[in-house]
Amino acid sequence: MNFCDECGSMMKADDSKWVCDGCGHEELRDETAEAAMTTTQGQEGNTVVDMSDVDESQVGPTVEQKCPECDETRTVRYEMKQIRSADESETRFFTCTECGYKWREDDH
């Protein structure tokens, strides 16, 4: 991937040159520089991870939390993920180790 020196837009490869979609600026391609670039080519597929042989204690951190399904304070596994914009807090995902119920919490 290459970025335009004129306007900063992403350029596209067109035979022996890079062409900017934004302003039309063109640059010659450099094979040596392109060989050092990291690509996503060949990384399109998702792989499934088999967790069936993993001990429950190795799946993630736990905390004492009231399970909405059991309606009692239980040990629950949790993980945090950034699923909204970076200026908002992470979403917490919980799984009850007793009944397997899953829920999430967001800061409002």
Consult the annotation and say whether 1 binds a ligand.
no
Is 70 assigned a ligand-binding role in the annotation?
A: yes
54 known ligand binder:
no
Query: Does the annotation list 4 as a binding residue?
Result: yes
17 is in an annotated binding site: no
Q: Is 81 annotated as a binding residue?
A: no
Task: Give the 3-state secondary structure of residue 89.
Answer: coil
Question: Does residue 67 have a known ligand-binding role?
Answer: yes
11 assigned binding-site residue: no
- Residue 105: Cβ within 10 Å count: 13
Strand order in the sheet with 73-81: 62-66, 73-81, 91-96, 102-105
Using an 8 Å Cβ cutoff, are 70 and 55 in contact? no
Binding-site residues from annotation for Zn(2+): 4, 7, 20, 23, 67, 70, 96, 99
Binding-site residues from annotation: 4, 7, 20, 23, 67, 70, 96, 99
